[in-house]
C-alpha cells in the first residue's frame, strides 16, 4: 500500500497526535501557571490558552482517525 503513495500515514497520525497533545499541555499548563504566579491574567491570555487547549484536543483526537484510518482506506 505504501508503494503507491508518498505519504507516511502512521508518521502523520503520530505527529498530529503529539502536536495536539503539546497544544493542550501548553494551553492548560500556561493557564494554571499564569494564574498561580501572577494572580490574574488579562482576558486575551485566557482566550488564547483556552483556544490552544480546545484546538489541541481536536487535533489530537481527529489526527489518528483521519491519517490512521480514513486516508489509508481511500487509497
Question: For residue 4, what pLDDT is reported?
Answer: 62
Question: For residue 5, what pLDDT is reported?
Answer: 65
Q: Rounded to the nearest 5 degrees, what angle is found at the Cα of 10, between the Cα atoms of 57 and 7?
A: 110
What's the CA gap between 45 and 75, in Å, rounded? 42
What's the CA gap between 67 and 61, in Å, rounded? 11
In tens digits, the chain (75 residues) has pLDDT values of 556 667 899 999 999 999 999 999 999 999 999 999 998 899 999 999 999 999 999 999 999 999 999 998 887
User: Can you give the pTM of this predicted structure?
Assistant: 0.85
Question: For residue 6, what pLDDT is reported?
Answer: 78
Amino acid at each position: 500500500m505504501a508503494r503507491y503513495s508518498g505519504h507516511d500515514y502512521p508518521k502523520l497520525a503520530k505527529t498530529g497526535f503529539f502536536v495536539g497533545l503539546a497544544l493542550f499541555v501548553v494551553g492548560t499548563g500556561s493557564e494554571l501557571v499564569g494564574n498561580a504566579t501572577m494572580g490574574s491574567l488579562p482576558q486575551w491570555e485566557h482566550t488564547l490558552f483556552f483556544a490552544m487547549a480546545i484546538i489541541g484536543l481536536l487535533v489530537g483526537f481527529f489526527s489518528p482517525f483521519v491519517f490512521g484510518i480514513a486516508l489509508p482506506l481511500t487509497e
